[in-house]
Chain A
Amino acid sequence: MQTTTTYSGAAFRCIPSSSTTPLSTDYSVAYGGRWNAAGTYPTMYTFLSTQLAQQWVSANLSPYSLDEVQPERLPDLLVLDLELDNVADLTGNAGLGEVGLPRTYPAGYAGTSAWTVTQSVGAIIHDAGHTSVLTRSATASEWSGQVEAWAEIAIFTDHAPKPTFTERIPAGDWL
């Protein structure tokens, strides 16, 4: 893939408060995700801002509000430091066009039913040796302005350098 970038900075990951292996990618290998099919390569899904992570938690819990959930069931926030090169950049039209996704992506790709398409794209990117995918978040409603406000990075942990753990923030302190 020609459209690539680098990323250096913080990333945020939501994990169950009971998690004892917060950097594990076992779940994504077992069940798959937007950019990896179940049983394939390990992928760690991260947000580039806490605000986006908050929006994702609210969307994930919908139709329930944070206030209705038992506090211990709300996720902790893992703060990571990333140094990534050879990042497949799907934030703009060039990158999207290169992998056959429409300029309107992720509109129309919100549900897991769309994952068959994105997983195929993810496999091509992974097999080409990229470390990660920088992509528009399906949680955001617009994809302009500061990239941190609306982008996610899916890290192929078998290709990327290990993220540096910075901090684990309890749900009560970030939600």
Chain B
Amino acid sequence: MSQTQDSGLETLLRATSTNALAWFETHNLLPSGGAATRFLNHQTWMSAVRLVSAADPLIHVCVNLVRDLVPEQADTLEELLHVQLARICASGWVGSRATREEDVAIGITAELRDWLLERIRIGQLSPAVTITALAPGPVSSSVQLQADAITYVVMAGVDRHLDEARAHEYLLKLNRIRSALGITAAELARLLRVSREAIRKWERGDTMAPERWPDIDGLLEAVEMLLRYFKPEHLPSVVRRPIPALNNDAPIEWLASRRFDELATFFDEKFNYGTTA
């Protein structure tokens, strides 16, 4: 763990709220663009979506800092913090700090600490990890959160988490396709009919348009079909070898032209040995 991560973890688990906020500000992690203020003022669906989006970087940094402490549950924590934004907004943290953005940031920190303390209590985390609970101070202004607004922020949090989980899932699928076929990013781009830049962006974690998902699913399904017939270590060579019965095309050409069903039929017949069960 780097020095920055060490100081981040120390801050996240034990610092006072003032020191924690200072660390967040230094690292540009406070929810940006007045998103928290706008949400608490307007309490609309769009402002809830923006709040979740603005709080997202902080949630990810927090979860990544504690990931080594709770490796098996880090994903659960990430999901929880996305959904808990509603509770934070409805809790005593709102109005306790100078800005609503600070309220949300420190509310997230407090939720995370409470969750870790609970892990210690139920024996999932070593008691040797020192964690200081945070409680809201005196509230300077209170905001009444409407029931709809709570629903909005919960739904926006769930949506955001599901989008991220799906993006991660599709990144894994891309990796699976690339490693199984032994192809470069440029070749993958050709198979998916997108630019190389698009592949690079997806691999960096940029959002992938849902319209792309069926193409990736179709290609992966075809790759999995090939893996049912051929040993993984030979597949990169197998897919590049021209086949007389396929007009001397290699299977990778058929993958590129999305002739998945025809390819499956070809191999199904080849491996049926002219008989049937």
User: Is residue A170 within 8 Å, beta carbon to beta carbon, of the partner chain?
Assistant: no
Instruction: Report A1-60 residues with CB < 8 Å from chain B CB.
Output: 13-16, 18-22, 24, 26-28, 30, 33, 45, 57, 60
B272 within 8 A of A: yes
Contact B228 A16 (CB under 8 A): no
Q: Which of B181-236 contact A (CB under 8 A)?
A: 227-231, 234
Are B270 and A60 in touch, CB under 8 angstroms?
Answer: yes
Q: A30 contacts B241, CB within 8 Å? A: no
| A-to-B contact residues, CB < 8 Å | 13-16, 18-22, 24, 26-28, 30, 33, 45, 57, 60-61, 63-64, 67-70, 73, 75
Contact A24:B277 (CB < 8 A) given known A69-B229, A70-B229: yes
Contact present for B229 and A28 (CB under 8 Å): no
Q: Which residue of A lies closest to B277 (CB)?
A: A19
B residues neighboring A (CB under 8 Å): 227-231, 234, 237-238, 241-244, 270-277
Task: Give Cα distance in the complex from A75 to B272, angstroms.
Answer: 8
A20 vs chain B, min Cβ distance (A): 5
Inter-subunit contact B274/A28 (CB<8 Å): yes
Contact A70-B273, Cβ < 8 Å, known A63-B241, A63-B243, A64-B238? no
Our pick among B238, B243, B272, B273 for the contact of A68 (Cβ within 8 Å) is: B238
Contacts of A61 in B (CB 8 A): 270
Interchain CA distance A67-B231 in the complex, whole Å: 8
* Residue in A19, A27, A68 whose beta carbon sits within 8 Å of that of B234 in the complex: A68
- Picked from B228, B230, B275, B276, the residue with its CB within 8 Å of the CB of A64 is B230
A46 to chain B, nearest CB (A): 10
Q: How far is the CB of A40 from chain B (nearest CB, A)?
A: 16
Please determine whether B276 and A30 come into contact, CB atoms closer than 8 angstroms: yes
Contact B273 A16 (CB under 8 A): yes
Residue of B with least CB distance to A14: B273
Chain B residues with CB under 8 A of A26: 276
Most buried by B among A14, A22, A64, A67: A64
Set A19, A22, A73: member contacting B229, Cβ < 8 A:
A73
B272 touches A16 (CB 8 A): yes
24 sample A-B contacts, Cβ–Cβ < 8 Å, listed by A number: A14-B273, A15-B275, A16-B271, A16-B273, A16-B275, A16-B277, A18-B277, A19-B276, A22-B277, A27-B274, A28-B274, A30-B276, A33-B274, A57-B273, A60-B274, A61-B270, A63-B243, A67-B231, A69-B230, A69-B231, A70-B229, A70-B230, A70-B231, A75-B273
